[in-house]
Each structure stands twice: as C-alpha cells, then as structure tokens.
Amino acid sequence: MKHLQFDYVIVGGGSAGCVVAARLAADSGGTVALLERGRSDSNRWIHIPATFFKALQSQDAEAVISDPDPSLGGLPFPVPQGRVLGGGSSVNGMLYMRGQARDYDEWETEHGCTGWAYRDVLPVFMRQEANRQFDNAFHGTNGPLVVDGPSAPHPVAARLIDATVSAGVPRTDDFNGARQEGAGWYQVTASGGQRQSAAHCFLRPQLGRENLRLLTGHSVARLVIENRRAVAVEAHDAAGQPVRIAAARQIVLTAGSFQTPKLLMLSGIGPRDELTRHGIDIIHEADEVGRNYQDHVGAPVTRRLTGAKGLHGADKGLAALRHGIDYFVFRRGLLTSNLLQAGACVDTDGDGRPDVQYNMAPFAPGAPGQPPLDFHAVQVHPMTMRPASRGRLGLASRDPADAPKFSSCVLGRDEDMDTLRRGVRLAREILDQPELREILGDEVWPGADLSTAIGSNTLDDAIRKQARTIFHPAGTCRMGPTETAVVDPELRVYGIEGLRVADCSVMPALVSGNTNAPTMMIADRAADWILRDCAGA
C-alpha cells in the first residue's frame, strides 16, 4: 500500500472542499491534500453556463436513488449529485441564494448552534463575493466568488416576472438583500460566459502552491482512527491501487449529505443498530449520523407556449450553430445564460415569511426521470422552502463502492404537502395573468381536467407523481450543542479528535433557498476555526 503524509486531508472536492482546501493552502503554512472521487472539471459542458443539463447527464454526476417512498405513493426519489471537482457548483443551475436571515437566527435560537446567527454568517457571505450588481450592506465586491445578474434575459422570463407581480407578489431586485420576498431576476454564479464554480473561483487560483495537492479519482473507503483520533484515510487511487493518506493535524469531511455520513458509518461512527447490522466495530456511537435528511421538493406547473418561443430545440440544428457562433466568437447570447433566470419567494401561508420558492423558465421538464418536454412550454415551479419531512440514510453493505441505503420520506409530513398545494394553486394563478394570456396554450400539468380546489384528493395524487428533488439534500450530520448531534457548533465531530465535517450535511435545518452559497459559507467558517487552532498549536 502506498503511503502519503500531509498536515490536512480534505475528503470531497465539491463546493465545500474547494473552499476549505484553498483557504488552508493559502493561509495555514501546512501541506494540504484535497481528495475527490470524480475527475477534474475538464468537461466543456461544465463551464458553458447554458449546458449545465448536459453536465448533469454526463459521468460527472450520479443519482442516489431512494427505496420506494410511501409518501410518494411508492415511487423512488432520485437525487442527482455532482461527482467531479467542484461538485454541485460544477453541475448546478448556478442560482446564488443564501436563504433568510431568520434561518440562521433559528439555527442559534432553536437548535442551539451558538455563533451561527445571521449577524455571524453575513460577513462571511460578503467576504466571499465579488458581486457585479450590488455594493451595499449585504454584498461584497472583493471576494473570489463572482456573482452577477443573469446574462441574456429571456423575454418570456420577463413576462413571467410581470405576471407574478400582477398576481400580488411584490417585485424585488435582490433575493439576498434586506427582504427575500418578491419576484425578480436571480443572481447567479456565472459571469462573462463562464460558470463561476467553487473549483474555478476558490481552488484554481491556489493550485500552483507547492503545499497543495489535488488527488482526483481517489475513492475513500474509511477513516483510520487511533485512540479516538482521526489520523488517516484509506482510499483507492485513480488506478485502483490502495493508498493510505495520513493527516498530521486534521481531516475534514466535505463529501456531502450522502457520502459524508456513509464514510462516518463505514469508519465506526454512527448508530449502533446500523453498525452492528453490518458487522462494523463501533468506535463512537452517534445515533444522528444519517438521520435528519431533508430536501426541497417541487412540482412544476407547466403550460404550452403558443404565441412565443421558449428554449425547446435551441441545442439542435441551425439554432445550435447560431448560438455556438455567438458564444465562441462573441461570448454573448443564449449559451452565456444559466437558463433558470427568474424566480419568486412567496409567503403563501400568511405568516409573514416566504415558504414557497418558484423557479420560472421558458422550458419545462418532463415527469420525474423523463426528458424535458419536446415542445415549447413554460414552467412556474413551486417548491417547499423549509420542509418538515425527514428521511434517513444507512448502509447498504460494508462495501464502500455501494451507494448508501436511502429512505427519503420527502412528503411524509402533511404540512409539506399543504405547502405544495398552495404553491401549485398560486402557480396556476400566475400563469392566468394578462401578461401571459396571449402566448400560452393548454396546461400540461396538472392539466385542465384536474381540480386544485381545497379538498381535492386528485391534486395530492398528482403532486406525489410529479414531485422531484431540487438538488438540495442536507442535514445528515447535523450540528448541535450536545453530543446528541454529530458535530459541535465549530463543526468538530463529537467523540473523535482531529475530525471535522464542513458541508451541507451539518445544517440542523435546511435554509430557505438554494444550498450552494450556504455550503461555501459553512466551509469558509470551518477554515477560520482550523486556522485558529493551527495558530494556537
């Protein structure tokens, strides 16, 4: 077995891992290894904003598929994940959403995570940003992460925003400012025709450092723990050969909400029943490892476009040629766009706090697991912002190559179904506004023959069949103030020295919005604490 030695070993080269590795390489003076199961982000579809859907269909993404979910009528719940340098930030829709101030305040007040209130995290968001639109009390302009407005705004998307305002939703120009509520254009991690992933913005500028080594194609099998201290990882390299990679100072898990708890359990850290079932020696009993799974769930209301063109067919024939020339010659046009340009955050239950996020676009997905619709269409896609339902991850076997066992239960709580009911009703109302009547045809889903009236069981059945992930799994290694949680508020794994988790699995409750920005913030804070510990050593 080959042996390597570093001061810091970062497991998982996604959004979080790229941030932690870059910070430690630049500021610690120690040697840093960043391990990633997938390959480098060389796929050209990653870097062209409009082709993110092609990256999601490539070897750079994989789906974790749940057991049959009773809350979805027995359907499985597949959750695609990036398996490439940059992780989700290399294959996602590039929306930059932090969530609500109250989300973080509640991490502190309701979940006991001292130091995670909005006043604590806002400065980190700001120092990361190089915002091309805003320079104010909520945004930074000198950070490594380029955040911009949408490129080549689509006229149909503009109409969708106007229609949402006509339906009674206020207009906003900044979902990350003083107030999240409203309808408007998203901010995106794409600018100048280039995806601004964590790998591109944080990691790549540091890769020339002698103290940073990037190891792609390395699959970690387990942690090596001696005297209750994490000292190394055992992995297989890109050629399939075993390698032991030791960490003199600290190991940081940044492998995401599926792989991080799986690795902890394979290493003897997890629920007793789960470890015993697979014959794994218990090093530290931690019941919450793999529990608390949560995700944003949506059901896109769709209508045919008849009086205008959307994006159907834009990647084929002469249209594709024209867009290619615009992009590669002039760096302009459709391919510079992230496509998911418009959205809304709406208070549908009247409690004064948005509970439904809408993605709005001039194209429409098919049913879960099916390709996009093969005609011009629009979507107004409601999704739960603070789901109450919780699932669980376990081990399928002791084989590190096996996917985790996944019980999703994503609509297991009545309040989540009720939120989607309200979301679907408002989406229909938006699509019936005067701004859209001359360009829209028949309703594709839920369909004109299906009632969305209060008390309609047929609507519930339709939502269960249409429900899909918004690609935001979180919570499976939640942080908290006592050892009933997996990590403490400084992200140290309870019961084990020299080990932190610094990805979205630590969220005690899912934020009200997309998770890429919060994940990078979490990673940056972890780097702060690691550097402080290094300075005090």
Output the DSSP codes for 443-467. Answer: EEETTTTS--STT-HHHHHHHHHH-
In whole angstroms, what separates CA 502 from the centre of its chain? 14
Count of beta carbons in the 10 Å neighbourhood of residue 99: 25
Alpha helices in 29-147 (DSSP H): 44-47, 52-56, 88-91, 101-109, 118-128
Phi, psi dihedral angles at 300 (to 5 degrees): -75, 120
Residues 6+ apart with CB under 8 A from 269: 223, 225, 283, 284, 286, 289, 493, 495, 496
Contact criterion met (CB below 8 Å) for 185 and 370: no
Separation of first and last alpha carbons in the chain: 31
CA angle 531–533–535, rounded 5-degree value: 70
User: In the structure encoding, which two tokens stand for residue 211, read together?
Assistant: 């103290």
Beta bridge mates, 145: 129
Alpha helices in 283-359 (DSSP H): 317-330
Q: Please state, in angstroms and rounded to a whole number, the distance separating the CA atoms of residues 104 and 1.
A: 44
Q: Please state, in angstroms and rounded to a whole number, the distance separating the CA atoms of residues 262 and 478.
A: 14
Q: Please state, in angstroms and rounded to a whole number, the distance separating the CA atoms of residues 331 and 51.
A: 14
Q: Please state, in angstroms and rounded to a whole number, the distance separating the CA atoms of residues 43 and 23.
A: 25
185 membership: H or E segment, kind and range: strand 182-185
User: In the structure encoding, which two tokens stand for residue 24, read together?
Assistant: 């430690």
Q: Which residues are catalytic?
A: 472
User: In the structure encoding, which two tokens stand for residue 164, read together?
Assistant: 């949402």
Residues belonging to the chain: 537
Contact criterion met (CB below 8 Å) for 246 and 232: yes
Distances (CA, A) of 382 to 301, 356, 403: 8, 6, 29
Q: Select from 332, 319, 361, 323 the least CA-distant residue to 151.
A: 332
Q: Please state, in angstroms and rounded to a whole number, the distance separating the CA atoms of residues 8 and 25.
A: 9
Alpha helices in 360-442 (DSSP H): 414-431, 434-437
Contact criterion met (CB below 8 Å) for 526 and 500: yes
User: In the structure encoding, which two tokens stand for residue 326, read together?
Assistant: 């615009």
Q: Select from 448, 253, 335 the least CA-distant residue to 52.
A: 335
In whole angstroms, what separates CA 337 from the centre of its chain? 19
Q: Which residue has the tokens 């550097």?
A: 531
